[in-house]
């Protein structure tokens, strides 16, 4: 079985103050740490589980700068067989559609039965790449997958819907699946395997090798900003009667009564 996993190197911003950079279209990254996008780690683990069950090869692919090779090597240490970095430095600012076109241009020359991606990136949070890539490759897909198995060249899939509902699908291969967090328990890469991964060759391809002259954009980033801080809480003081009268006045002012 030939499996492709698309992964992304993202900044870890959960516990730090995020500042907008001088361009107004990005964040300052000098003091940030980077790691594999969370749902992509689950996608990679699902690929490794499939490889352990059915055999085959896993190719991880990422659109990123040179530092992304560290992320790809961790994927190699966890069980991937091959790694490809598409040179982000050959491109300017990309939207989700352009990113999907670039990935499609690289993947269409490869052999694959299954493509895994994460369901969402923790930095941009668009949830566009997987489904757009599947449409560009003209293969079936399922998003937000929470259970996955393969039987007789078909995928038995359960995907998460709103309201706690689960949709059960039977999909012919080749196909693409965006993986939801929690579907499995991602493994850690051992130090020995990380050291071995440092010796593996990562294939690097640039814009000229993608055999596509133009990547069409369908959106433009105008501005990135921190939401303005506004008054959210007002404490009402005084007796119960006084507080109730003030609260009723607020309700009337807001048009609630």
CATH of the domain at 91: 3.40.50.620
What mean pLDDT comes out for the span 236-252?
89
What confidence category does residue 100 fall into, taking pLDDT thresholds of 50, 70 and 90? Answer: very high
State residue 40's pLDDT score.
97
- How far is it, in rounded angstroms, from Cα 119 to Cα 145? 8
Residue 247: count of CB within 10 angstroms of its CB: 12
In a domain, 240, yes or no: no
Who contacts 148 (Cβ-Cβ below 8 Å, separation ≥6)? Answer: 46, 50, 155, 156, 157, 158, 177, 179, 183
Residue 165 has pLDDT above 80, yes or no: yes
In a domain, 224, yes or no: no
Phi, psi of 223 (to 5 degrees): -160, 145
Q: How many domains does the chain have?
A: 1
Domain that holds residue 122: 2-210
Q: Is the pTM of this model over 0.75?
A: yes
In a domain, 231, yes or no: no
In a domain, 20, yes or no: yes
- How far is it, in rounded angstroms, from Cα 24 to Cα 83? 33
In a domain, 242, yes or no: no
In a domain, 164, yes or no: yes
In a domain, 232, yes or no: no
- How far is it, in rounded angstroms, from Cα 189 to Cα 187? 7
- Dihedral sign of CA atoms 213, 217, 222, 226 in order: negative
What mean pLDDT comes out for the span 147-157?
93
Residue 116 has pLDDT above 90, yes or no: yes
What confidence category does residue 137 fall into, taking pLDDT thresholds of 50, 70 and 90? Answer: very high
41 with 5: CB under 8 angstroms? no
Least confident residue range of 24-33, 94-103, 147-156, 203-212? 24-33
In a domain, 229, yes or no: no
């Amino acid at each position: 079985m030939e499996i492709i996993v698309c992964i992304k190197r993202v900044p870890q911003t959960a516990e730090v103050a995020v500042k907008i950079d001088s361009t107004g279209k990005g964040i300052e990254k000098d003091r940030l740490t980077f790691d594999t996008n969370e749902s992509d780690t689950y996608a990679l683990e699902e690929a490794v589980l499939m490889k352990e069950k059915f055999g085959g090869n896993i190719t991880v692919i990422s659109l990123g700068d040179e530092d992304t090779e560290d992320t790809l090597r961790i994927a190699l240490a966890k069980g991937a067989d091959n790694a490809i970095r598409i040179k982000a430095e050959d491109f300017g600012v990309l939207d989700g559609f352009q990113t999907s076109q670039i990935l499609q241009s690289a993947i269409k020359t490869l052999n694959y039965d299954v493509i895994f991606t994460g369901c969402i990136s923790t930095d941009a949070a668009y949830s566009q790449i997987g489904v757009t890539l599947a449409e560009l490759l003209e293969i079936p897909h399922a998003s937000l997958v929470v259970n996955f198995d393969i039987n007789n060249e078909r995928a038995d899939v359960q995907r998460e819907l709103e309201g706690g509902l689960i949709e059960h699908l039977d999909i012919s291969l080749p196909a693409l699946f965006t993986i939801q967090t929690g579907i499995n328990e991602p493994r850690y890469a051992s130090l020995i395997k990380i050291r071995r991964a440092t010796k593996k060759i990562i294939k690097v391809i640039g814009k000229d090798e993608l055999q596509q002259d133009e990547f069409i954009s369908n959106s433009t980033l105008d501005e990135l900003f921190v939401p303005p801080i506004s008054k959210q809480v007002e404490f009402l003081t005084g007796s119960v009667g006084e507080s109730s009268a003030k609260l009723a006045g607020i309700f009337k002012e807001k048009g609630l009564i």
